[in-house]
Amino acid sequence: MNKIATHDSSIRHTTGQAIYIDDIPDQENLLHGALVLSKCAHGKIKKIDFSRLKNLPFQTTIVTAENIPGENEIGPIKTGEPILADDIITYFGQPVAVVLAKSFQEAQYASDLVKIEIEHLDSILTLENAYNKNSFHDDPIILEKGSVEKEMKKSKFKKSGEFEIGGQDHFYLETHVAITFPGENNEYTVWSSTQHPTEVQHGVSKVLNIPSAKIDSKVRRLGGGFGGKESQATIFAGISALCAFITHKPVKIRLNRHNDMTASGKRHNFKVRFTVGFSSNAKINALDIILLSNGGNVLDLSGPVMTRALTHLDNCYFIKSIKAYGYICKTNTVSNTAFRGFGGPQGMLVIENILFSISEFLNKSLDDVRQINYYSQSNGLTTPYGQIVSKPRINWVLNETYKLSDYHTRLKQIKSFNLDQVKKQRPFRKGLAVMPAKFGISFNKPSFNQAGALIHIYSDGSIRLNHGGTEMGQGLFVKVAQVVAECFKVSLDQIHITSTNTAEVPNTSATAASSGSDLNGMAAWNAAFTIKKRMIDHASQLFKKSKSEIIFEQGRILAGNKSLSFTELAFSCWENRISLSSTGFYKTPKIHWDQGKLKGHPYFYFTWGAAVSEALIDINTGENRILRADIIQDCGNSLNENIDIGQIEGGFIQGLGWLTCEELCFSQEGKLLTTGPSTYKLPGSRDVPPIFNVKLLENADNDEKTIFRSKAVGEPPLLLAISHFLALKEAIKASLPSSKAELLNSPATPSEILKAIYA
């Protein structure tokens, strides 16, 4: 297999030839929609006033929730999630109506003339306020193991604390976009930038009250999704389909950046309160903890996000007893959603912060505190949710990372650097920190762990590949094509990659949870192997050889001293009326999960990784940088080393953004103020550490039977950026004797850093 194959679209991406939804040429009758967004956080709609649109010199069409022929409902898990506000507005920026016109500029201009008269209602905008008012989406999700009360009493030390973790905008380059083309007999084709074409199909079906079979949901590629287009793309696709239904014309909905950031959900911000009981050697005996997440106005995927946060609280550590309550707060802000890591990063930051607090309390190094708590034969290997961590790779990834980063030498150098800064009356301090990580692979809900593929071989030997996964830049399509090329032993360019399409592969899961290549790779292998078996049967008859003597190799089929090209055999199969087309299906084995008890075996396997980061801060200004990062990531037997390295680099930098500079600010009225890169600080090219070493763990075949023993990579590297957050804490700790690193909230902006230094 070509493990260094480049992304199938890399040339097209860089030359502008890759076709995104917005690049689909406008049909003459195409209408553009602009959203009318609410201007209050909570209120009853008294009247939507369109009167000022009458005098415009161009034609407009208005669509509101009243025009919906089916249900105003696209909730992915629970109901109560409208595409357009019905009579109650529940957050500032909620879509209330759509104005359609011949051009986007006209539609946008007209949409600005719409007035929404409302009766204001009290709003809840913060986690604290929601908690005090018992405003939750559901009962808390509870993870419990052992007796926290007993173990807490037995513990020599107890420590309590609280901290906040900020949200994050996805800031995909391509904002939400969808075009719906109406056809005859109530057929609709919806092109949308979605990670979940099947959910778009179901959502449109519900909204229009038309069966799924009449709705084709398609996407060739997304200009980034990062979780933001897992459930929420359905809102905008649903709106475009509704408008196409009303007008009988194709309708495009494309959000500008301001509207995208305002009207679509983000990473959940969290607030955490804990009490931890531990012994004098830093061993954790009991953890009593409350996690508050900001679900926003509707539930969306907040339940599974909280579940993943709770099942990643342990990270690499055996915790004897735990009582963790996860409350999903119901607030009048946009509904938060999936974001790379899906709650896992928040959960892992929580335990790392707690370990840091213990290390400060006991005046021990963070590494020593970790060492005594790692999952191991002697400590225990059972997670709080009951899954056993068989064969942990903690020490393996750590040792490789120590080597790569020259950790122990640099630790000493940094100590003397910091002392030297004091002596020389200089304002700089450095910190160095490690982050070990374990990440569970599979959707927590077992039913989502399935995939399908469809392969056709044509009589000219060319191979058309389709599967349920979506391509959002992560390189899924090339990986799955590699699998098929490997099955037939043909070159990669013989595989034609096609758009995801619910008409070809139905009932798909979202491309999410990093499981895209695990699931679709296996499904495609199964489809290819079915055809290959038929081809082998046919070749064995042709060559008069036993099946075991038929060998596929380098685009040829060999049998003893005779051979045919792949194309010749494909043609011969066609001539002899042998089917060259097959579906393939895969479901992840071994997993089970009881969501009520939060117990089971939710993850097929774990990926492992570790990073070392070096941080520099200026104690006068709080300005900070990352100077160096070294990463080892366990990708099993990587399907594509280039793609995986790219995912690790990108994920890590995205994690740095979340933890240091990306800050969402809302006004007192609940209006998002940071709606573009001028006010929302994204990591730029100069924020990439000048020394950045990324390596895959070597000879690390997955213990489980995944496709070619590979491992998922999409999300886990993001949370390795926690190493930098911890390195900042180390630098703060070294700044002044009275500094309190444990006060540092995320994102660690200069003002947060100053607050912790001068505590």
Q: Active-site positions?
A: 715
Q: Choose which of 42, 252, 266, 340 interacts with ligand MTE (CB under 6 A).
A: 340
Binding-site size for ligand MTE (CB under 6 A) equals 21
Task: Show the CA angle centred on residue 19, arms to residues 464 and 644, nearest 5°.
Answer: 70
Nearest to 151 by CA among 321, 324, 385: 321
Among residues 98 and 713, whose Cβ is nearest to ligand MOS? 713
Q: Decide: is 474 part of the binding site for ligand MTE (CB under 6 A).
A: yes
Nearest to 306 by CA among 323, 294, 318, 321: 294
DSSP letter for each residue of 476-530: HHHHHHHHHHHHHT--GGGEEE--EETTTS-SPPPS-TT-HHHHHHHHHHHHHHH
The partner in contact with residue 452, picked from ligand MTE, ligand MOS, none with C-beta cut-offs of 5 to 8 angstroms by kind, is none
Q: Which residues pair with 251 in a beta bridge?
A: 31, 180
Q: Decide: is 166 part of the binding site for ligand MTE (CB under 6 A).
A: no
Q: Which two tokens stand for residue 44?
A: 């009853």
Residue partners of 437: CB distance under 8 A and separation at least 6: 315, 316, 348, 608, 609, 610, 611, 716, 719, 720, 722
CB of 224 to ligand MOS, least distance (A): 11
The partner in contact with residue 566, picked from ligand MOS, ligand MTE, none with C-beta cut-offs of 5 to 8 angstroms by kind, is none
Report d(CA 687, CA 518) in Å as an integer: 32
Among residues 323 and 711, whose Cβ is nearest to ligand MTE? 711
Q: Choose which of 512, 661, 672, 728 interacts with ligand MTE (CB under 6 A).
A: 512
Among residues 194 and 735, whose Cβ is nearest to ligand MOS? 194
Q: Choose which of 271, 340, 599, 724 interacts with ligand MOS (CB under 6 A).
A: 340
Query: Cβ-closest residue to ligand MTE?
Result: 516
CB of 338 to ligand MOS, least distance (A): 4
Among residues 272 and 513, whose Cβ is nearest to ligand MOS? 513
Report d(CA 107, CA 702) in Å as an integer: 53
Among residues 405 and 442, whose Cβ is nearest to ligand MOS? 442
Q: Choose which of 91, 226, 274, 593 interacts with ligand MTE (CB under 6 A).
A: 226
Residue corresponding to tokens 């994204």: 682
Among residues 267 and 671, whose Cβ is nearest to ligand MOS? 267
The partner in contact with residue 516, picked from ligand MOS, ligand MTE, none with C-beta cut-offs of 5 to 8 angstroms by kind, is ligand MTE
Q: Decide: is 713 part of the binding site for ligand MOS (CB under 6 A).
A: no
Report d(CA 59, CA 347) in Å as an integer: 51
Q: Which of residues 191-210 bind ligand MOS (CB under 6 A)?
A: 195
Q: Which two tokens stand for residue 645?
A: 């390295």
Q: Decide: is 167 part of the binding site for ligand MOS (CB under 6 A).
A: no
Q: Decide: is 392 part of the binding site for ligand MTE (CB under 6 A).
A: no
Interacting stretch for ligand MTE, rule CB under 6 A, among 78-86, 150-158, 218-226, 542-550? Answer: 218-226
Binding-site size for ligand MOS (CB under 6 A) equals 10
Q: Decide: is 521 part of the binding site for ligand MTE (CB under 6 A).
A: no
User: Measured between alpha carbons, how far is residue 464 from residues 44, 99, 311, 471, 473 in Å?
Assistant: 52, 40, 39, 16, 20
Report d(CA 464, CA 476) in Å as an integer: 16
Residues 643-682 as x/- pattern, contact with ligand MTE by CB under 6 A: ----x--x--------------------------------
Report d(CA 591, CA 485) in Å as an integer: 29
CB of 710 to ligand MOS, least distance (A): 17
Report d(CA 390, CA 370) in Å as an integer: 19
Which residue pairs, CB below 8 angstroms and at least 24 apart, start in 492-497? 492/2, 492/5, 494/461, 494/462, 494/463, 494/555, 494/566, 495/463, 495/465, 496/462, 496/463, 496/464, 496/465, 497/8, 497/465
Q: Decide: is 225 part of the binding site for ligand MTE (CB under 6 A).
A: yes
Interacting stretch for ligand MOS, rule CB under 6 A, among 32-40, 315-323, 332-340, 347-355? Answer: 332-340
Contact 271, 164 (CB under 8 A): yes
Which residue pairs, CB below 8 angstroms and at least 24 apart, start in 735-741? 735/429, 735/617, 735/619, 736/619, 741/356, 741/360
The partner in contact with residue 148, picked from ligand MOS, ligand MTE, none with C-beta cut-offs of 5 to 8 angstroms by kind, is none
Residue partners of 89: CB distance under 8 A and separation at least 6: 38, 40, 41, 42, 43, 44, 45, 96, 116, 118
Q: What H or E segment, with its residue span, contains residue 46?
A: strand 43-49
Q: Which two tokens stand for residue 172?
A: 């995909």
Contact 322, 277 (CB under 8 A): no
Q: Choose which of 106, 151, 230, 288 interacts with ligand MOS (CB under 6 A).
A: 230
Residue 747, preceding bond cis, omega within 30 degrees? yes
Q: Choose which of 43, 227, 440, 516 interacts with ligand MOS (CB under 6 A).
A: 227
Contact 526, 584 (CB under 8 A): yes
Q: Which of residues 579-618 bind ligand MTE (CB under 6 A)?
A: none
Q: Decide: is 715 part of the binding site for ligand MTE (CB under 6 A).
A: yes
CB of 261 to ligand MOS, least distance (A): 17
Q: Decide: is 712 part of the binding site for ligand MOS (CB under 6 A).
A: no
Query: Cβ-closest residue to ligand MOS?
Result: 227
Nearest to 127 by CA among 745, 754, 597, 719: 745
The partner in contact with residue 474, picked from ligand MOS, ligand MTE, none with C-beta cut-offs of 5 to 8 angstroms by kind, is ligand MTE
Q: Decide: is 515 part of the binding site for ligand MTE (CB under 6 A).
A: yes
Q: Choose which of 114, 414, 513, 632 interacts with ligand MOS (CB under 6 A).
A: 513
Among residues 32 and 221, whose Cβ is nearest to ligand MOS? 221
Three-state SS for 95?
strand
Q: Decide: is 512 part of the binding site for ligand MOS (CB under 6 A).
A: yes
CB of 175 to ligand MOS, least distance (A): 16
Which residues form the interface with ligand MTE (CB under 6 A)? 224-227, 340, 472-474, 476, 511-517, 647, 650, 712, 714-715
Which residues form the interface with ligand MOS (CB under 6 A)? 195, 227, 230, 338-340, 342, 512-513, 715
